[in-house]
Amino acid sequence: MTIAVITTVAISLTLFGAGLLVNQQVSEMRSYWDERITLTVYMCTDISPTPVCQENGAATDEDRESLEATLNGLNEVASFDYLTAAEAWQDFQDRLGSSNEALADAAQEGDIPDNYRVQLTDPSHYDTVRNAVEGAPGVDTVSDDQRVLEQFFGLLDGLRAAALVLAGVQLAAAALLIGNTIRLSAYSRRRETGIMRLVGASNFYIQLPFLLEGAVAGLIGGLIASGFIVATRYTLLTQIEDWFQFDVALGAGSLLYVIGVSMILGVLLCTITSFLTLRRYLKI
């Protein structure tokens, strides 16, 4: 009985823990990007292809002063920086570094126009700020990270939900399998439990060996699952972090939280399932 229960619990909790890890990772990534979301206001140049820039020409000093006054008057704006075309090109090179040398080499100075990098007090305010500056004299286009990231996080949220649903289904299946295994174990020991009844053993005393066996099996299964969870953290999630080239590593605190929840759940799952199964099977 114990080996079957341990195996079932280990597999179920590994999937459950992986779902929790994905959930924690998505939360960390959201926090990381929420602090870095900027709204970029690109100014018109002599070669800007948009109709408004071709009609009005390159942005003037008056246009920039007017835009800065607008930004200073918005409570939703935490800060902003003005970058010349040369500074914007250098910043682009620095951001890419050695991660994409081909793209960095393809970009020429002047490809990125003068722009304002606007930091918001709250990422949810980007529509308000965008509407305030879009169409202002000298403004070419306004881009923000939020729209791109929302699509990205929508995909991650879908994966997170799928992982948690799969883990929940697996836990439910594990509970049924554990209950059936406990029932078979109780049936194989029916003579012993019958003798215990005859000598006046209490209901709890009869149940106790099964409950302890289930709790130990759940604990061992949780320990095995913890090993797989740690392996998942330092293989799959580390690879994802390398792909996206940003520092949002899942901390030790989050990992210990997932391991702790998984181990406690393993013990509770086996103990409660054993208790309910025995009450019904032994009719005590």
Mean pLDDT throughout 210-228?
A: 88
Convert the pLDDT of each residue in 115-171 to its tens digit. 999 988 887 788 889 899 988 999 998 986 777 777 777 887 787 788 778 878 878
- Cα separation, 263 vs 104, in Å, equals 47
Convert the pLDDT of each residue in 34-52 to its tens digit. 777 788 999 998 888 888 8
* Average per-residue pLDDT for the chain: 81
Mean pLDDT throughout 9-25?
A: 83
* Farthest-apart Cα atoms in the chain, separation: 101
In this prediction, residue 244 carries a pLDDT of 58
DSSP designation for 234:
I
Closest CA to 149 of 161, 141, 157: 157
Is pLDDT of 252 > 90?
no
In DSSP notation, 105-172 reads: HH--TTSSPPEEEEEESSGGGHHHHHHHHTT-TTEEEEEEHHHHHHHHHHHHHHHHHHHHHHHHHHHH
- Cα separation, 160 vs 155, in Å, equals 9
In this prediction, residue 162 carries a pLDDT of 82
Q: What is the rounded end-to-end Cα distance, in angstroms, of the chain?
A: 22
Instruction: Out of 15-29, 88-102, 150-164, 236-250, pick the least confident.
Output: 236-250
- Cα separation, 50 vs 57, in Å, equals 10
**In this structure, how many other beta carbons lie within 10 angstroms of the beta carbon of residue 165?**
11
Instruction: Out of 5-9, 61-65, 160-164, pick the least confident.
Output: 160-164
Give residue 214's pLDDT band: very low, low, confident or very high (50, 70, 90).
confident
- From-to residues of CATH 3.30.70.3040 in the chain: 36-144
Q: Which fold has domain 36-144?
A: Alpha-Beta Plaits (3.30.70)
Convert the pLDDT of each residue in 188-209 to its tens digit. 777 877 787 778 777 777 778 8
